Each structure stands twice: as structure tokens, then as C-alpha cells.
Chains A and B, each alone.
Chain A
Amino acid sequence: MAKSVFSNKQKKDIVFCLILLALPLIQFSVFYIGVNINSFVMVFQRYEVNAETGIGSYVFNGFKNFDTMIKQIYYDGIFLGALKNSLLAFVLVTLVGVTLALVFSLYIYKRMPLSSTFRVLLFAPSILSAVVTVTMFRYFVEDVIPVLFHLEQGLLANQDTKFGTILFFNVWIGFGTQVLMYSGAMSGIDPSITEAARLDGAGPAREFFSIILPLIFPTLQTFLVAGVAGLFINQVNLLEFSGLWSEARYMTVGYYLFKNAQSASSGELPLLATYGVSLTLIAAPLTLLTRKLLDKYGPSVE
């Protein structure tokens, strides 16, 4: 009788690992792989209702959905506006947000006055649900700000300030996680390195750009790459602010797709799947390119 390759303990460990991994793997298979395969197939289908039975089914439609998508973008105009807003939100929220988060992180890292308090204050909104935070923010900008600054209407009620206010909210709400991550990365820097730099005559700016930034760059890079990857799914919390009834002028691509998918009939899903697959074809290489560029041109410890 051949001896088993695995000991009893090893067998138990394997079973334990399998049990532990089974649920997430099944979930991933069904809700990611399965859904995406289904979406891809749907790109080449349309929904057809049988006139006699009244029952609908998906049938092959070739590349017609791409044709319809291009025509819809041309005639409708809403998607292009949403694309513009998505890019604007990315630039402002990512670049402004990252810059400010780095400044605050440095403040905390340097243990400046009230730095611990700032860390808690900035992180606190992140642990609340977005709906709660948006509700509080809404009351603040609609009921408090107009009283403080003698405005006729709130910042959200005023169409000229609404989108800017929403973008501000997104920058503010994004602080918590970023500050926590950056300051955490900064605290991992060996104090002897910064001390040596200071002894060599490096000022605060030189210390930041030549020592701190390169050392925390992998963390920063992760945020930037994730930001690019999420370019077309970022809905800038518009769903929490306006539900499914936002004005077209404030929509981002992420919101546009979510909103349409949320209320879509079976006949509309193939076209939405076509949008999704087309945007993936843009976002995926863009994300890889961003990572490559950051690897190549990002600050180096050397």
C-alpha cells in the first residue's frame, strides 16, 4: 500500500484552505467571471419578444450594437458630456486630492501641532456610509452655508455651484484613506535616512521630494493607477446626491452607465453591455500604460 504524499495534518490544512477559499472563489466566479462573460456575449445579442407567446429571449445580432452605440453617442450628446465630466473629476479629484493628501500626510508625519487630531478628523468621514456623509454634507451646504454667507440659495440648489460642490465633496471624502495610507508609508521611513539628509544640509522641500516622495511612491502609484482604472466607473457620489434623477450636465460615465443599467429593460441591456466592453477596451490599456509610465518616470530612491 503506497504511502500518502500528505500527512494527516497537511490534509487537514489543505481542507481548511479549500473551505476558506471556496466561498470567495465561487463568489468571484459567479459575480465577476460569469457576469463579465455574460456581458461580453450580450454585446452580440438583442432581445426579441415572441409575438405569439409574449416571451422574450436573446438572439444573435452581430456587431449591430456597436453601430447603434456610435449613433446614439452622436445623436444623444449626453454620453460625451458625461465623458468630459469624468475626465474633469479624475483630474481634480485625483490630482488635487493626492496633492492635498500628501501635504496633510507630511504634516502628520512631522508631528506638527494637532496632527493626531487631524488624522482622526480626516479619517472619520471614511468610516461612515456614503449616504450618511452626503446627507450631512447636503444639510451643511444647503442650510448652513447660505446663512453664514448670506446666499439666496444653497450650493447644491444653485446650478452654477452644484458640480463644483460635488467635486469638493469627493476630494474631501477621499482624504481619509489616502492620508492614512501615505502617513503610514511615511512612518515606515527609517528616521536615520531623513536625519542624514538634514545633516547633509537638505531643506524640507528637498527632504520631501528626494527622500520621502520616492520612498512612499509605490503607495502613491497604487492610488494613481487605481484612479485611472476607475476612470469610467467613478460616479462621484452623484447617486447619493441625486438618486437616479441627476441633470445630464452633472453626469459622469460611471453614473450614466449605472443609472441606465438600473432602470434598463431587457431590450436595453445588450447596448449597455456594448458600452461596458468598449470602455474596458479603452481603460485596460490606459491603466497598464499609466503603470508603465509611472514605473519608468516616477521618482526613484536612487
Chain B
Amino acid sequence: MKKTGNLKKVTALICVAVMGATMVGCNPGDDGPTKVVDQTKAQLYVSNFNAGAGSEWLEKAIARFEVDYADKEFIPGTKGVQVWVTPHRQGLTELGPKMATAKEEVYFLEYVPYYEGISKGYFLDITDMVTQDLTQYGETVSIEDKLYDSQVNYFKTPEGKYYGIPHTQSPTLITYDADLFDKKGYYFGADGNLGKKSTDSGLSKGPDGKSGTYDDGLPATYAQFYQLCEKMKKQNIAPLIWSGTYPWYTTRFARSVKADFEGEEHMLAYTFNGTATHLVDSIDAQGNVTYKAPTTITEENGYQVFSSAGYYYTYEFFEGIYKNGYYSNKAFNESTTHTGAQELFLVSSFTSAQDIAMLVEGTYWVNESLGTFDEMAVNIDEDAALEKRNLKVMPLPKARDNLVGTPTTYVDCLNELAFISAYVKEEKKELAKTFLQYCETQKSLEEFLQTTKLTRCYDVDYSNIYDTLCPYSQSIVDSLKGANYLMPNSSSEVFLNNYTDFFETYEFGTKAQANPMWGIKNGSTALELFETMKNKYNQNSWNVLLGK
């Protein structure tokens, strides 16, 4: 009996010790064991989606904020402020219902259906904070002034209120190995032939149609892109790689291709409000598209936007890549994860494996791969470090010659949002707004870019820090300069009531296939995929979505 009693005590002690061990160093946030709560300071809690951009940028901003506001009395009886971060990987669907009782007040999230969040009453009205000039930080503009025009349309509700502001900028594009391009002469000359290096004179004008810009020598059209890939293939270099485990990486890329072709009109597929000028009347055997007369799109006839030529040109671009074999043999392998594809791309230049020239990824991928860069620099070659790699974002080639020089349009792929919880205590509103505003100052935006290698989603000038950036970040800044940026979401009733259905459509999904690249691989032609998309809805099936 005694033995049993002792055994129980020992077991209980072990359990307590194990539980205690897991709690050692715990703080209000996950900021590590060095920071402890100081009750004489105001406490602010921040929720951060800890994926592509990570949390380091936030910790840096917090460190500066705590110093800059060390003497500020945000809450009566306190002096200074402490900010705690909760890193996680949850979206609004998971966090929203818990917000009323959560301690977090400021949120930086991915996958946020903005207008859905507003309708649920999750977000605080931050209009004053967004429209106020940032003079106290030595700036003459407001956060609103830093937004792209399309973002103002998106974030500002019809009532003229802001409930959230952008977070990171994350289009899915092509990253190319500029060192390999130079070594192999993969730049186009003005005569349209390959063989140039980036430092040579007489480069072609690139997709923007202008000489002396960042895209000189890069493929301007699909035809030139294929020409480039063909040369790579003949030299036993795999032109492209993407994640085979997660096909949606190429779906997001498809969205980028379509948006770049359609420009602002791409948003019609979300707002169902405006004039469509790219609706297809017919496509001949050579792929020449005849357009319908400009058509007014409303929610009533919204299904017509799915016959936009943007879909066809995207399918056509993918068809050219697949049918000509311009991809790595790991690209469709379901064990090639996104980080696996990044690693294959990065190590290919330093091992006996087949070289891979380009990677299809979100622009945040470099930050995800920082560990791989470091490991490669230590274990393979010190020239493999990020600072020594010449990796760049490639501007999207245009579908046809006559489109060269048309403005570049990028589209967001992660629906990211920064906002303040509607449940924040009255006494903490000023603190929460001040911190969120602080994160959007020029200094903070620049620090974010330097830390994460990618940009926050604001139309600002980075010339002050341009020379301090790695080539990859420089190319992001270059490619975004003068480009339009779209947020794929809207307050349209038919959109909000059928979000999943449109989510599928937006991701190029139909009953026949969920992903354009895999659709092509499975034997469909670009024209067949386009016809499927075009016919996904008719007036009858659209009426079901309208609730009729």
C-alpha cells in the first residue's frame, strides 16, 4: 500500500516537472525568456501570421516603437509601452470567432476575406489613422496616400471608411537565376536574338518596351519566352520548376498572367461592376482572338466575365510551356513541395544536378529560404549565400507583340490584411492605432524590405535604401515601379454569398480541372480549357448564385 502511495507521488512529481519544464520562459507572447512584463508600461498584444514574411520584421519594429514611445502615457498611470507578439498560422476563419475573448489587439494576417470580416464586425474603424498625415514621423503623406489607387477602391468601403490596410505584397511570379543568364547569354539583343549578357549594350527593350530600364534583354512576349526556354532545353538546362505537391502555386501564377493581360479589368471577375473590353467572340485555329463589343457587366450578367481573353492567353502560355517540355522533371512530382522546389532551384547551380533557370513562386519565397541560403553557404560554396546570388524577379512577358509596352499589373495572392480588433478596449485604441500606423511609416516599410527581402503592399519610393538591398529585393522594387496592383476580393453580394464557388473559379477551377497547368498536362488544349471556363456558368446556373 505504501509502495503504491509513493509511486503515485513520484508519478505526480514527474508530471508536474514535465509540465513545468514546458512553461519555463513563457511570457505573455512568445518573445523569449528575456522580456518580462513591466506593469508600469502599457501592454499591447499583436497577432502575426508567421509564414512567408516571418516575425523578425515585427520584432524590429517593436524594438524601435518601445524606445520611441518610452515616455508616452498611452494609458493613465503607465509610462511607455511593451508589445508582445503571438506568432501563428491561422487565418480569420479560425481567429475571428475567438477575437472577442482574445488578448491580441493588432493583427497581421494572411487569407482574410476583408468584406466578410467587416460584415462580421471583427474590425475596428481606423479611418482617422489611415487618413492622418504622418507628420510626426517627418512625412508629408498619410497611409491612404501610400496606397495604390486600386487599393483605395478596395479598402475604402462605400461609406468611406477603412477597417484594414495592406500587409505584405505577394504576387506569384517567375524568379530567374541572373548569374546563369549572364553565363549562358540568355538575354535578347535588339535584333531579337539571344546571346547577350545583362552588361552588354544593344539589349532588347523587354516587356515594358523601353530601353535603359530594368527589364532590358528579358523576353518581351510569350514567343520570346519560348525561344529562351528552347535554348535552355537544348543546353540541358531545365527552364522552370514549381511545386508539384501544391499545384496552386501555378494557379496563382496563372492569376498573375491573366491580371497582367487584363489590367484593372481583371477586377470585374470580383466586383461584377464595370465595362469589359476583352470578352471573346471567337478564337481561330491560329489562336487569334476576336473580341465582342465592350459590354457592361453587372451582377445580373456577371458570368460573362469568365469568357475573358485573359483566360485564353493564360492557358495558351501554359500550353506552350508544357507541350514543349520547358520544365524540370520534378515539377509535376507530388513529392516536390514548395520549399523542395526552392531548394532544387537554388542548389542546381552548385551541384552536378541539372541546372534550373527559373522558379515559379510567391515573391516571399526568398525569406522562406534564408535557412537554405545559409546552409548552402556553409556546406556547399560561400558564393551560394543570398548576398552573393544574383536572383531576380522576371517581368511577365506579354501575350502578343502589340501588347509590349502596356502597363504591368500584379495581383495579390494571399489576401493579407493588417487591422485592429473591434473588441479592443477603449483605453487601448490610441495605442493600437499608433502602433499600426508606426508600422506603415517610411522607416518601417524600408526596414521590412531590408529584413524580409519583400515589400509591404504600398506604392512608396525605396530609392533611399536601394543600394543596400540584395539583387532580388532590388528587382522586386524595379518591377513594381509604375505597376498597378490589384486585391482579388470585393463587397459584391454575389461574390460574398458564393465565395467558395468563385474562389474555385478564380483559381481557374472547373469541374474538369482544378488547375490550368495540370489541365494541360492531363491532355486538354488551351482552347478546350477556355471553352470549359467560358461555359462554367450560363444564365440559369448564374441565377442560382444570385439566389433566384
Bits for A146-158, please: 1 = Cβ < 8 Å to B, else 0.
0000000110110
Interface magnitude class on chain A: 35 or more
- Identify which of B244, B511, B540 gathers the most chain A CB atoms within 10 Å of its CB: B511
| Chain B residue nearest to A78 in the complex (CB) | B511
Q: Are B335 and A139 in contact (CB under 8 A)?
A: yes
| B334 pairs with A55, CB closer than 8 A | no
CA distance A56 to B121 in the complex (A): 8
For B500, give its contact among A47, A55, A264 (CB under 8 Å). A264
Tell me whether B499 and A263 are in contact (CB under 8 A): yes
Is B302 located at the chain interface by the 8 A CB criterion? no
Q: Which of B248, B335, B499 sits near A265, CB closer than 8 Å? A: B499
Among the 9-residue stretches B5-13, B386-394, B513-521, the one with 4 or more Cβ atoms under 8 Å from chain A is: B513-521
Chain B residue numbers with a CB within 8 Å of A54 are 118-119, 157, 159
Using a Cβ–Cβ cut-off of 8 Å, how many residues does chain B contribute to the interface with A? Answer: 41
**Nearest CB of A to B383, in Å:** 29
Per the 8 Å Cβ criterion, residues 17-75 of A in contact with B are: 46-47, 49, 54-56, 64, 68, 71-72, 75
Complex alpha-carbon distance, A280 and B335, angstroms: 37
| Complex Cα gap A68–B501 (Å) | 14
* Complex contacts, A138 vs chain B, CB 8 Å: 245, 334-335
Contact in complex: B540, A267 (CB < 8 Å): no
Residue of B nearest to A64 (CB): B547
Residue B466 lies at the interface, judged by CB distance under 8 Å to chain A: no
The answer on a CB contact under 8 Å between B515 and A245 is: yes
Q: Does B497 contact A (CB under 8 A)?
A: yes
Contact A266 B119 (CB under 8 A): yes
**Given A248-B510, A268-B499, 17 further pairs, Cβ under 8 A:** A54-B118, A54-B119, A55-B120, A55-B121, A143-B333, A154-B334, A157-B244, A159-B518, A245-B248, A245-B251, A245-B514, A247-B513, A262-B93, A263-B93, A265-B113, A265-B500, A268-B497
List B contacts of A247 (CB < 8 A): 513-515, 518
> Is B226 an interface residue, CB under 8 A from the partner?
no
Q: Which residues of chain B have C-beta atoms less than 8 A from A188's C-beta?
A: none
B541 within 8 A of A: yes
The answer, yes or no, to whether B493 is at the interface (CB within 8 Å) is yes
Of the A-B pairs whose beta carbons lie under 8 Å apart in the complex, a sample of 21, sorted by A's number, is A49-B119, A49-B496, A55-B119, A55-B121, A56-B119, A56-B120, A71-B544, A75-B540, A75-B541, A78-B511, A153-B332, A153-B333, A154-B333, A154-B334, A245-B246, A245-B247, A245-B251, A245-B514, A265-B113, A266-B119, A267-B499
Instruction: Give CA–CA (A72, B512) in the complex, Å.
Output: 16
> Is the pair B514, A246 in contact by a Cβ cutoff of 8 Å?
yes
Cα–Cα, bound, A154→B330 (Å): 10
Report whether A265 and B246 are in contact in the complex, using a CB–CB cutoff of 8 Å: no
Query: A56-B120, A154-B334 in contact; A263/B503 too (CB < 8 A)?
Result: yes
A300 in the interface, Cβ–Cβ < 8 Å?
Answer: no
Binary CB contact string for chain A from 219 to 254 against chain B (1 if under 8 A, 0 otherwise)? 000000000000000000000010101111100000
> Across the interface, do B157 and A248 meet the contact criterion of CB distance under 8 Å?
no
Q: Is the CB of A157 within 8 A of B503?
A: no
What A residues does B509 contact at CB under 8 A?
A: 248
Instruction: Assess A265 versus B497: contact at CB under 8 Å? Given A54-B159, A81-B511, A245-B514.
Output: yes
- C-alpha spacing A45/B538, complex, angstroms: 26
Q: Given the interface contacts A54-B159, A154-B335, A157-B334, does A268 sit within 8 Å of B119 by beta carbon?
A: no
Q: Which residues of A contact B66 (CB under 8 A)?
A: none
Binary interface encoding of chain B residues 473-490 relative to chain A, with 1 for a CB under 8 A from any of its CBs, else 0: 000000000000000000
Which A-chain residue is minimally distant from B493 (CB atoms)? A49
Q: Check B498 for interface membership: any CB of A closer than 8 A.
A: yes
Most central of B118, B333, B498, B522 by chain A CB within 10 Å: B333
Closest to A51 in B: B158
Instruction: Give residues 323-362 of B contacting A (CB, 8 Å).
Output: 332-335
Query: Which 5 residue pairs are nearest across A and B when measured between Cβ atoms?
Result: A56-B119, A267-B497, A265-B499, A75-B541, A156-B334
Which residues in A have their C-beta under 8 angstroms from that of B335?
138-139, 142-143, 154
Closest residue of chain A to B497 (Cβ to Cβ) is A267
Contact of B246 among A243, A264, A267, A268 (CB under 8 A): A243
Residue B182 at the A interface, CB < 8 A?
no
Check A99 for interface membership: any CB of B closer than 8 A. no
Q: Are A46 and B518 in contact (CB under 8 A)?
A: no
Q: Which residue of A lies closest to B96 (CB)?
A: A266
Query: Out of B334, B503, B514, B518, which one reaches A142, CB within 8 Å?
Result: B334
Scoring B residues 241 to 263 as 1 if CB is less than 8 Å from chain A, else 0, what string do you get? 00011111001000000000000
* B93-117 CB contacts (< 8 Å) to partner A: 93, 113, 116
Question: Min CB distance, A291 to chain B, in Å?
Answer: 35
* B334 and A267 contact, CB distance less than 8 A: no
Return chain B residues, CB-CB under 8 Å to A75. Answer: 540-541, 544
Give the CA-CA distance A246 to B493 in the complex, in Å: 27
A263 to B335, CA, bound (A): 25
The distance in angstroms between the C-alpha atoms of A247 and B121, with both chains bound, is: 34
Closest to B333 in A: A142
A267 to B113, CA, bound (A): 12
A76: Cβ under 8 A from any B Cβ? yes
